[in-house]
Amino acid sequence: MKALVYNGPHDVSVDNVPDAKIERSTDVLVKVTSTNICGSDLHMYEGRTGMEPGRILGHENLGVVIEVGAAVDRVKVGDRVCLPFNIGCGFCANCEKGLSGFCLTVNPGTAGGAYGFAGMGPYSGGQAELLRVPYGDFNCLVLPRDSQEKENDYVMLSDIFPTGYHATELAGVQPGESVVIYGAGPVGLMAACSAVLKGASQVMVVDTHKDRLQLAEKLGAIAIDNTEGDGIERIMELTGGQGADRGCECVGFQCCNMHREEVPNLTMNSLVQTVKATGRIGVVGVFIPEDPHAQDKLAKKGQIAFDFGQFWIKGQSIGTGQANVKAYNRRLSRLIEHDKVKPSWIVSHELPLERAPEAYKSFDKREKGWTKVILKP
């Protein structure tokens, strides 16, 4: 099969590799028809993680079931399915509590597994023609009848739509509240969409990329252009000097200032400043335990200089971590099915798998207009 292989920093290629296959009786084999490039893939592409050369990338996947293991009961050949990026077993203590992003079975020695992701187990990614899905009955979301015509919408259920929604859940967003979101990338835009769905009265999105801020405005959000470094002042003005009720971090450890210089603690400390006293912050941007190639000494050890004194004195609270996709994907799929939301509006490029190396290069450079890429194997 053809697959996108990580060879080293800034070096990926579409190669012929052995076909994915059923390995255990609980597996499902999927012919991939859509697979997205995620901002998290760029951390690995840039060599900022421990990703091993030779591995297949891709954790945002959708396709058609072509084979099932002998122990699979629910999923059938021919089903169109979307796969949560995190792999769960369905029966461990965390999966039973709905915390499938922190499964205790699939990646022994740590909590959580994922397709094609550094430190998240040995599982191959789905930027390929075929994908093996462990614990298929649990991990496959069987899609409605309209899934083929709305494929570019449903594939967003693999990660960014549930992750954006998770940001608002971690932050505790309620109807009528104000929300500030740092990051107008795909996850930040999905967080803004989710906040609007939940009835937030004010949704402010902070970034320096004007093309992405324009997309936020299409959602009804207030775009905060931080190019001049005055975003905090603008948010405080819009909230009467109090700060937002809730805040969402949707950037992660590679956040940059107005000069496009990495400042790992920038968004977190900005949220402490722009969320009101007793407000809550949800963090879904990726922060990693170590970043050996970082210039910041603390960041090398996975640490940041956090304004904890201000955070404490304001009585704020915080929720963090990757989205437990299965906690949300079925409900969110119904919003797509009944035309309440259309997350494919975020897609800027739809390309064949063969053009994946070119797409990674452009997406990594944050070239204008490159917002979300779907690959079609």
Dist CA 317 CA 272 (whole Å): 10
Last-in-domain residue among 280, 298, 320: 320
Spatial distance between the Cα atoms of 366 and 350, rounded to a whole number of angstroms: 16
Instruction: State how far the alpha carbon of 222 is from the alpha carbons of 147, 180, 191, 238, in Å.
Output: 32, 9, 13, 10
Q: Model confidence at 256, in pLDDT bands (50, 70, 90)?
A: confident
Clarify whether residues 101 and 180 are in a common domain.
no
The CATH number given to whatever domain includes residue 150 is 3.90.180.10
Query: Is there a single domain that holds both residue 204 and residue 278?
Result: yes
Is residue 88 domain-shared with residue 44, that is, in the same domain?
yes
Same structural domain for residues 38 and 116?
A: yes
What is the Cα–Cα distance from 110 to 113, expressed in whole angstroms?
9
pLDDT of residue 3 exceeding 90: yes
Q: Is 257 a residue whose pLDDT tops 90? A: no
Q: pTM of the prediction?
A: 0.95
Q: How far apart are CA 239 and CA 236, in angstroms?
A: 5
Contact 1, 345 (CB under 8 A): no
Report how far residue 251's alpha carbon sits from residue 249's, in angstroms, rounded to the nearest whole number: 6
Distances (CA, A) of 375 to 4, 128, 141, 149, 266: 11, 9, 20, 16, 32
107 and 232 belong to one structural domain: no
Q: Which residue has the tokens 């919408």?
A: 153
Tell me the torsion sign for CA atoms 47, 48, 50, 55.
negative
Q: Are 256 and 262 in contact (CB under 8 A)?
A: yes
Average pLDDT, the chain: 95
The separation between CA 272 and the C-alpha centre of its own chain, rounded to angstroms, equals 22
CA distances from 209 to 164, 257, 258, 374 (A): 19, 11, 10, 21
Provide mean pLDDT across the span 181-208.
97
Given a cut of 90, whether residue 296 has pLDDT beyond it is no
In terms of DSSP H, where are the helices of the chain?
39-45, 93-96, 136-139, 151-154, 160-171, 186-197, 210-218, 231-238, 266-274, 297-300, 308-313, 329-337, 356-364
Q: Which residue has the higher pLDDT, 151 or 40?
A: 151
Q: What is the pLDDT of residues 126-147, one digit of tens each?
A: 999 999 999 999 999 999 999 9
Do 332 and 306 lie in a common domain?
no
Q: Are residues 81 and 226 in the same domain?
A: no
b/e code 94-132 from CB counts within 10 Å (16+ = b)? bbeeebbbbbbbbbeeeebbbbbbbebbebbbbbbbbbb
pLDDT tens track for 86-109: 999 999 999 999 999 999 999 999
Asked whether residue 306 falls in the same domain as residue 177, the answer is: yes
Number of domains in the chain: 2
Domain of 301, in residue numbers: 161-320
**Tens-digit pLDDT profile for residues 226-254:** 999 899 999 999 999 999 999 999 998 87
Residue 231 confidence (pLDDT): 94
pLDDT the model gives residue 302:
83
Q: Which amino acid is at 5?
A: V
Tell whether the model's pLDDT for residue 259 goes beyond 80.
no
Q: What's the rounded Cα separation, in Å, for the pair 85 and 87?
A: 6
185 and 275 in a single domain? The answer is: yes
